[in-house]
Structure 1
Amino acid sequence: MTRLSQYFLPTEKQPPADAEALSHKLLVRAGMIRQVGAGLWSWLPAGYRAHQKAVQIIREELDAIGAQEMLMPVLNPAEIWQKSGRYDAIGGELFRLKDRRGADMVLAMTHEEIVTTHVAQVVRSYRDLPQILYHFQVKERDEPRPRAGVLRTREFIMKDSYTFDRDAAGLDVGYEKHREAYDKIFDRCGLEWYRVDSDVGMMGGTGAHEYMAPCPAGENDVALAPGYAANVEVAAATPKPVELPAALDAPEVFETPGATTIEAVSQLAGVPAGALIKAFPIIVGEDELRLVLVRGDHRVNEIKLGNALGAAFRPAHEAEFADRIGPAGYIGPVGVSGVPILLDSALDGDSYIAGANEADKHVRGVNPKRDFESTLVDVRNVEAGDTVDGHEIRIEPAIEIGNIFKLGTRYSVPLGATFLDEDGNSKPVWMGSYGIGPARICAAAVEQFADEKGISWPRSLSPFDVHLVGLGKAGTDEHALAEKLYEELRALGLDVVYDDRDGGPGAKFADAELVGCPLRLTVGRRTIEAGEVEAQVRRGRETRSVPLEGAAEAAYELWKTLP
């Protein structure tokens, strides 16, 4: 029984003052979530119903590929994370604490270590493989900048599943099963989505894809072209061409007083920014100085650069490079010795302008193939207008709603998850890891389909199927009709929220549009007079009607046609 006169649904007229994302504003206003602290949110009854709708869809599709549900603890002994190497490798995002006996503990942000430990204890033979295990569990992450309501939080529920196989071929099979299951999950959730190539990040392993829901509040940028989709962290494309100055036989120094920026040098020299070389000195490891070069109109991609280096790095301070290269604002590759140079592959022309490594001077006619030694890498962000197979790419913000990783033996080797093959040889288990955030699915649905009146849930995620608004006071014929229709709708198996509160139609309709159920039915005096029940389809706020006689069945048939 869900009557708003008794239901905990604290709707609000105004959004939180600090809310920027549409889903943050509307989930709070619709009484779905409430904040406890920075990055900490409670799901209130209606919101939790939507969350659990997503959970059930995920569960059904995973069960369909043979996955087995379990539950692992949030609180983990630090020793297991130390064995995997992530206890030290992960920065401040990992919650570390001690129990009353002084033992080091971890609040898990994911469960590779724990599930691999269980498999290491149980799996002995190739006959024990493959296995697919999963759970829904709270994750803890000491997020430095919680934002956007439930999109970036310090605590959240995640579905993480894991495949365990005999070899890389088996991993590919498990990975493909999850890819197909994820495609079905997001289709069933009613979302607009795409699957993109991504970086393995802290998970490690040999390959990864992310599932993205496009929307303006998205914190990830995705590069898209016909037949191509990739997170900008790993995207590669052919750069837009740039007009370069005439080539010279040798680099030529010229005066650039006070010109320390790409824009200033570009204007002074009368060339486009892409005709310049942008130089970034970095420190790799403890104190190794290197110089990174990209085209003047491009930006360094830190993920790509970290992958190219295979090590941690940071920007160098002027005191760390001035005496070995030159003053800040005027550094370039020509004449540099003893400092390894990484050259972005987009710098493939023969006549660029670069810093001369002297104050107020630059050098023109720089040919990267001729004038300095370097290692060729791809370390730039792709830009809108670059091309893939001749097609221009566009950059679009999106919410990450799921990810899949080929872990290989990244965790099985340090945690001792091995098996004996057919010949009695010990082999490491091959693993995959697969995550989905139900909260992000809900937030993405709000972002994609809301309008100026409120949320418009996809039918599969809506906390209720039908929002029934009664306008008659107790004791009237219209009130009796609303009560009768409520029971008939429920008898058909529909989840119905019934607004039986005292109050005018304006406030009730406003709340109904804010909460966003796919179908609203209104019962009042005009219903009886017209012999019809007013129906509003929430997506597009289209007004329809169903006959009073058989209204429940007619409403049910209408509901089944909605997105």
Structure 2
Amino acid sequence: MRMSRLVGKTVKESPRDAEIPSHKLMLRAGYMRQYSAGIYGLLPLAMRSISKIEKICREEMNGIEGQEIRMPCSATKELWDETGRYQTFGKDMLKFHDRNEKPMVLNPTHEEPVVYLTRTELTSYRQLPLMMYQIQTKFRDEPRPRGGLVRLREFTMKDAYSFHATEEDLKEYYDKVHAAYIRFYKRTGCKNFVSVMSDNGVFGGRYSHEFQMLVPTGEDKLITCSHCKISSNEEIATSSFVIKKSSENKLEKTHTPNQKTIEGLSKFLNISPEQTAKAVIFQTLSGTPVVSFVRGDLEVINAKVRNLVKSEVIPATHENLVKAGAVAGSTGPIGLNLHNCYVVLDHTVVKSSNLATGANEKDYHFINFNAERDFLSTLKEFEKTKVIVGDIAAVRAGDPCSICSNPLQETRGIEIGNIFHLGTKYTKDMECTYLDQSGKKQYPIMGCYGIGITRLLPAIIEESHDERGPILPLPIAPYEIHLCSLNRKDIQVTELSEKIYDNLSKLGFEVLFDDRDEKPGSQFADADLIGVPYRVIISPKTLAEGCAELKYRDNRLEPRKIKIEEIVDILKSEITAEYSKYKNV
């Protein structure tokens, strides 16, 4: 491809609203252009890289007996009603009506469509196990798109679904997919990535893992233990928090004028935040208030609350706060209306003694609150069903590991893939069955496996770039060779450059040819910004010595002169050797 004809011009200045390096560099290099918030068009450079990512992905999925399919991007409301997720999935699902006023959705994920397909094709246990996958555009009405292609509303994803007769067979296949993912990420040039335990969220099932690219700009917080080698997303991370117990004092209500924050209350009572209980109030999508409590020095993880109440949760409205019997700035467990709400108590609140907590009365708090004595033991039978004790606290760096008690560490990551155990949630809801050896009807057990195809490119750029631009691994770089022709007014330079370009192209090399009459500094700046691994420079100076200059974008070797007649052999040798590093990983 000649740069004089390449669609996608380079830009010198970083766009004002670009937040992270990959976002800035991909816009500047002409990889993409923004249409609206979270919606981007991909230009030829990005498409070439993403096509290579897709090719490697297909090879790995086919290698574990996956069968590629294509499901529709839209579906009827009735299909999603079969699992109840039309109402419970949340606002990420874009809903609309077709010309016949039929309610439709843009599929944010494809569990329902793939089960619909499977129940038309699966009849016998002899067909199991089976796995189907697709690479397709999805739409999720993300409220806070950010980071260019990192968090989008419209994106390309590989999603796969497997069906099994037994849990043992699913687990064996789950591990096989896990190994295929590791190969895939290594083959695409990812270096600093990990597999961590994660939350199943709205997808259901019992266990799941995320694959995270470890970069400082990652939006996900990961908790790791260097001693146990355990890693998990903060949404499921646990800790054996240090609890200071003391003899229980008498519960007292005390006047606390204008003290509506943990910081203010602690100073007013001359106690530490660890001696308080913090309230965070949510509501389910159906509008039921959920009043959660955690020790005052900790934060609440929404996903943990969701898992305990078995419903998506969002911040509560003032109306639902009143409905629960709570008073803003002075919310506590005692006095809540358990007819109308759920109460979730973190273990740190239940195990601690003599805490300060709200009295559900303006400008008043209780001191010396002991959860078992003052709240749990007083519940009536129906009220016990509305109170849940569990783990909802966010783990911090330095907190003790729940397994070995060594200090935990925090790191940041970009999620680049996930795998889920789904069980029979979807097959039962949608009456997808097969006949076993005895002719008895059974529900297949499902697994789900996703890779963020468009997200992977910026994630790799986040871990591999410098101030001048991306440093792309050879397997996913848009081109293998960037040929720079300096001083096009020199006939010898022009003719030789054209000849080298033609020869390399005919031999199957992927060449981006800068045939523009630009100054050397401008050509080199654009080459750095695009990030092609190998750069061949033809100039009057090198040509006078019968040479070209070979430069490496990753600077792993110093630039060097190579004889014109040796260009093809040297590039073939080096590029073949480089590709071999990514094979059979």
Cα distance between partner residues in 2 of 1:326 and 1:306 = 20
Cα offset for 1:514? 0.2
Structure 1 length as normaliser, TM-score? 0.92
The answer for the alignment partner of 2:435 in structure 1 is: 420
| Contact 2:142–2:152, Cα closer than 8 Å, also in 1 | yes
The answer for the alignment partner of 1:364 in structure 2 is: 367
- Written as runs of structure 1 = structure 2, the 5 A alignment for 1:100-139 is 100-139=99-138
The answer for the alignment partner of 2:573 in structure 1 is: 557
The answer for the alignment partner of 1:280 in structure 2 is: 280
| Contact 1:518–1:559, Cα closer than 8 Å, also in 2 | no
Stretch deviating more after TM superposition (352-361 or 26-35): 352-361
| Contact 1:223–1:230, Cα closer than 8 Å, also in 2 | yes
Q: 2:233 aligns with which of 217, 223, 231?
A: 231
CA-to-aligned-CA distance 1:25-62 (integer Å, 9 cap, x gap): 11111111112233221111111001111101101111
Alpha carbons of structure 1 residues 281 and 135: separation in structure 2 relative to 1, 3 Å: closer
Q: 2:396 aligns with which of 383, 400, 405?
A: 383
| Contact 1:33–1:42, Cα closer than 8 Å, also in 2 | yes
Three-state SS of the structure 2 residue aligned to 1:382 is coil
Cα distance between partner residues in 2 of 1:331 and 1:85 = 33
Alpha carbons of structure 1 residues 166 and 322: separation in structure 2 relative to 1, 3 Å: closer
Cα offset for 1:456? 1.0
| Contact 2:214–2:411, Cα closer than 8 Å, also in 1 | yes
Q: 2:526 aligns with which of 505, 511, 519?
A: 511
Cα distance between partner residues in 1 of 2:481 and 2:36 = 33
Matched, 1:350 2:353: yes
The answer for the alignment partner of 2:73 in structure 1 is: 74
Three-state SS of the structure 2 residue aligned to 1:120 is helix
Three-state SS of the structure 2 residue aligned to 1:115 is helix
2:369 is aligned with what amino acid? V
Cα offset for 1:111? 2.1
| Contact 1:354–1:362, Cα closer than 8 Å, also in 2 | yes
The answer for the alignment partner of 2:510 in structure 1 is: 495
| Contact 1:489–1:556, Cα closer than 8 Å, also in 2 | no
The answer for the alignment partner of 1:303 in structure 2 is: 303
CA-to-aligned-CA distance 1:418-445 (integer Å, 9 cap, x gap): 1111111010111111111211110101
| Contact 1:242–1:275, Cα closer than 8 Å, also in 2 | no
Three-state SS of the structure 1 residue aligned to 2:459 is helix
1:149 is aligned with what amino acid? G
The answer for the alignment partner of 1:263 in structure 2 is: 263
Unaligned runs of 5+ in 1: none
The answer for the alignment partner of 1:87 in structure 2 is: 86
| Contact 2:213–2:413, Cα closer than 8 Å, also in 1 | yes
Cα offset for 1:22? 1.8
Cα offset for 1:491? 4.7
Matched, 1:431 2:446: yes
Matched, 1:218 2:218: yes
The answer for the alignment partner of 2:249 in structure 1 is: 249
| Contact 1:242–1:272, Cα closer than 8 Å, also in 2 | no
Stretch deviating more after TM superposition (279-288 or 423-432): 279-288
1:185 is aligned with what amino acid? F
Cα distance between partner residues in 1 of 2:323 and 2:492 = 90
Cα distance between partner residues in 2 of 1:322 and 1:163 = 46
Q: 1:534 aligns with which of 514, 525, 549?
A: 549
Cα distance between partner residues in 2 of 1:560 and 1:349 = 63
Cα distance between partner residues in 2 of 1:326 and 1:163 = 46
Three-state SS of the structure 2 residue aligned to 1:84 is coil
1:217 is aligned with what amino acid? T
The answer for the alignment partner of 2:380 in structure 1 is: none
Three-state SS of the structure 2 residue aligned to 1:467 is strand
Three-state SS of the structure 2 residue aligned to 1:460 is helix
Alpha carbons of structure 1 residues 286 and 508: separation in structure 2 relative to 1, 3 Å: closer
Cα distance between partner residues in 2 of 1:484 and 1:158 = 40
Stretch deviating more after TM superposition (373-382 or 430-439): 373-382
CA-to-aligned-CA distance 1:230-261 (integer Å, 9 cap, x gap): 1111111222x3767x6443234445333221
CA-to-aligned-CA distance 1:163-206 (integer Å, 9 cap, x gap): 11112222212212211111111111111211112222222223
The answer for the alignment partner of 2:486 in structure 1 is: 471
| Contact 2:249–2:354, Cα closer than 8 Å, also in 1 | no
Three-state SS of the structure 2 residue aligned to 1:416 is coil
| Contact 1:453–1:510, Cα closer than 8 Å, also in 2 | yes
Cα offset for 1:14? 1.6
| Contact 1:344–1:377, Cα closer than 8 Å, also in 2 | yes
Three-state SS of the structure 1 residue aligned to 2:3 is coil
| Contact 2:189–2:473, Cα closer than 8 Å, also in 1 | yes
Cα distance between partner residues in 1 of 2:147 and 2:337 = 47
Three-state SS of the structure 2 residue aligned to 1:169 is helix
| Contact 1:466–1:494, Cα closer than 8 Å, also in 2 | yes
1:499 is aligned with what amino acid? D
Alpha carbons of structure 1 residues 3 and 336: separation in structure 2 relative to 1, 3 Å: closer
Cα offset for 1:305? 0.5
2:201 is aligned with what amino acid? G
Alpha carbons of structure 1 residues 252 and 29: separation in structure 2 relative to 1, 3 Å: same
| Contact 1:456–1:517, Cα closer than 8 Å, also in 2 | yes
Three-state SS of the structure 2 residue aligned to 1:304 is helix
- Written as runs of structure 1 = structure 2, the 5 A alignment for 1:10-49 is 10-49=9-48
Three-state SS of the structure 2 residue aligned to 1:486 is helix
Structure 2 length as normaliser, TM-score? 0.89
Cα distance between partner residues in 2 of 1:135 and 1:97 = 24
Cα offset for 1:323? 9.5
Cα distance between partner residues in 2 of 1:483 and 1:450 = 30
Stretch deviating more after TM superposition (483-492 or 191-200): 483-492
Alpha carbons of structure 1 residues 144 and 126: separation in structure 2 relative to 1, 3 Å: same
Q: Percent identity?
A: 35
Cα offset for 1:271? 2.8
Cα offset for 1:477? 2.4
Three-state SS of the structure 2 residue aligned to 1:550 is helix
CA-to-aligned-CA distance 1:127-173 (integer Å, 9 cap, x gap): 11111111111212222333222222222221111111112222212
Three-state SS of the structure 2 residue aligned to 1:533 is strand
1:233 is aligned with what amino acid? E
Cα offset for 1:353? 2.5
Alpha carbons of structure 1 residues 357 and 187: separation in structure 2 relative to 1, 3 Å: same
Number of residue pairs aligned between Structure 1 and Structure 2: 560
Stretch deviating more after TM superposition (496-505 or 535-544): 535-544
CA-to-aligned-CA distance 1:53-84 (integer Å, 9 cap, x gap): 11011011111111111222223233222223
Stretch deviating more after TM superposition (37-46 or 343-352): 343-352
